[in-house]
A = this chain, B = another copy of it.
Amino acid sequence: MPKFVISLFPVCIVPLSLTDCFCCRDDEDTFKILIATDIHLGYLEKDAVRGNDTFVTFDEIMKCAKQNEVDFVLLGGDLFHDNKPSRKAMHNCMEALRKYCMGDKPILFEVLSDQAVNFGNSKFPWVNYQDENLNISIPVFSVHGNHDDPTGADGLCALDLLSCAGMLNHFGRSLSVEKLEISPVLLQKGSTQIALYELSSPSTMVKCKVVFLYPLSKHGATNYIPEQFLDDFLDLVVWGHEHECKIAPVRNEQQLFYITQPGSSVVTSLSPGEAVKKHIGLLRVKGRKMNLQKIPLHTVRQFLIQDITLMDYPDIFSPEQPNVTHKVQAFCQQKVEEMLEEAEKERLGNPQTPEKPLIRLRVDYSGGFESFNTMRFSQKFVDRVANPKDLLHFTRQREAKDGMRDEGIDFEALLSRPSSEVLQLRVEDLVKEYFQTAEKNMQLSLLTEQGMGKAVQEFVDKEERDAIEELISYQLEKTQRYLRERHVEASEEKIDEEVSVGLRG
């Protein structure tokens, strides 16, 4: 089989060894695949203005899949914002899936791979459209992201609930903790064959000590998947996790594959990358050719961002003027008005777009200027913008540069750099350091560095409030059981002794 669709996290890869993009008609040999990532259902769901944004847009995405009569939907992770989605988020998700993905439309492709392996973590380890009790018209295949990955003793994630309900096919969970086994989902439509891979999620990587494009500083460069292995093999990478829409496929000259980054369908940070118009992709694959059509999302709340540097306007104001702050304020107000006007114009053609846009004005006030009360300033726009609380942001030159980091990783640059350069300091390192200095601390002798590192990371990254508590309870329980099995009497010394034997064993 010469064709592959590969999905990898934080990268999803759709591979094709594609020789040429093509304009194709829909026929019996052409896969039509709707591609979206980072939908973040439930993001800010308690916000009075923005609370329903993610649900409305997910509805638009799934409706679009139905209207375009796609063969399947491929989701690249972070369908949910919270690791434990609220009832409302789960309910809205199920509603859209049941509404748009069930029905009589026949499925015109087959699964060639071993489904018991592909969906081995499910209690119903087969593709949902082949379940004789479910009438699925559009199967959804999804990997999990870093927000909605499996946690807890049961190793379940939110997608597993959908999968158990027969509403989604969660693939790409490595069955082995020891080694990285990549079992693609192989699909065939007419004469076209593709493969879906999830090369690895961060948790898989941590477990397997295999790292690719998402390095952890504690592993050496030898743990990487060699790039020459990948470039023989990939055709298109669907990159998840990053929120900026860079959906138009970009050819990577070193590796000779294409990359598409659909980006998120909701603005979760007020950074420039998120201001890029949001799209999803309609990917057509026929034989060894592919075409990716950009589909703009109409329900996404507009987001406009602008930077001004006060020093750039010496004719208008200087720090010495007595009423300079008033002048700056008026100037900023005018800028916001302009952005609102621009948003309003653009919105006119799109009745589905929410009325109040997200607006951010970043004001560099270095050079002796003073900041002013942003709350009072925002008050004026409280009815016209969706984010009055963080409309205005003061920066100084140094900060502004830091701010640029928000724009996300330039994956092309990353790919061409040696791996050692892209190392980042991560939470694990802090935990490791703690364990190195506190190694003799008996109070923590039941907690391993690895376990605690993972729990802390979950706590920080995924808003998983119970992660640390759960780990501790789990370890305590385990130790107690261990002691009970050995009938250890409740003397402290003996317990310490047994515990250290147990941990070594």
Contacts and interface: CB of A to CB of B under 8 A. Distances in A.
A242 interface: no
A102 B135 CA distance: 12
Given A94-B165, A103-B133, 10 more contacts: A46-B473, A46-B477, A87-B152, A87-B156, A87-B158, A87-B160, A91-B164, A94-B161, A98-B123, A383-B485
A383 to B, nearest CB: 6
A218 to B, nearest CB: 30
Contacts of A98: 123-124, 133, 164-166
A219 interface: no
19 contacts: A84-B87, A87-B160, A88-B152, A90-B161, A91-B154, A91-B156, A91-B161, A91-B164, A94-B161, A95-B123, A95-B164, A98-B133, A99-B123, A103-B133, A132-B135, A134-B135, A165-B165, A379-B489, A383-B485
A413 interface: no
Nearest to A99: B123
Interface of A: 46, 48, 84, 87-88, 90-91, 94-95, 98-99, 102-104, 123-124, 132-136, 152, 154, 156-158, 160-161, 164-167, 375-376, 379, 382-383, 473, 477, 480-481, 484-485, 487, 489-490
A484 B383 contact: yes
A171 to B, nearest CB: 17
B484 A382 contact: yes
A102 B99 CA distance: 19
Nearest to A101: B133
Nearest to A93: B164
Contacts of A165: 94, 98, 165, 167
Contacts of A473: 46
A342 to B, nearest CB: 23
A134 B477 CA distance: 41
A282 to B, nearest CB: 24
Contacts of A484: 382-383
Contacts of A158: 87
Best-surrounded residue of A99, A133, A167, A481 (most CB of chain B within 10 A): A133
A201 to B, nearest CB: 17
Contacts of A157: 87
A383 B87 CA distance: 39
A375 to B, nearest CB: 8
A481 to B, nearest CB: 6
Contacts of A91: 154, 156, 160-161, 164
Contacts of A124: 98
A100 to B, nearest CB: 11
Contact of A133 (B84, B135, B383, B481): B135
A481 B379 contact: no
Contacts of A166: 98
A154 B167 CA distance: 22
A132 B136 CA distance: 11
A485 B99 CA distance: 35
Nearest to A485: B383
Contact of A376 (B135, B480, B490): B490
A490 to B, nearest CB: 6
Contacts of A164: 91, 94-95, 98
A489 B477 CA distance: 56
Contacts of A99: 123
Contacts of A134: 133-135
A153 B87 CA distance: 11
A439 to B, nearest CB: 28
A133 B46 contact: no
A481 B152 contact: no
A87 B154 contact: yes
A55 to B, nearest CB: 11
Contacts of A136: 133
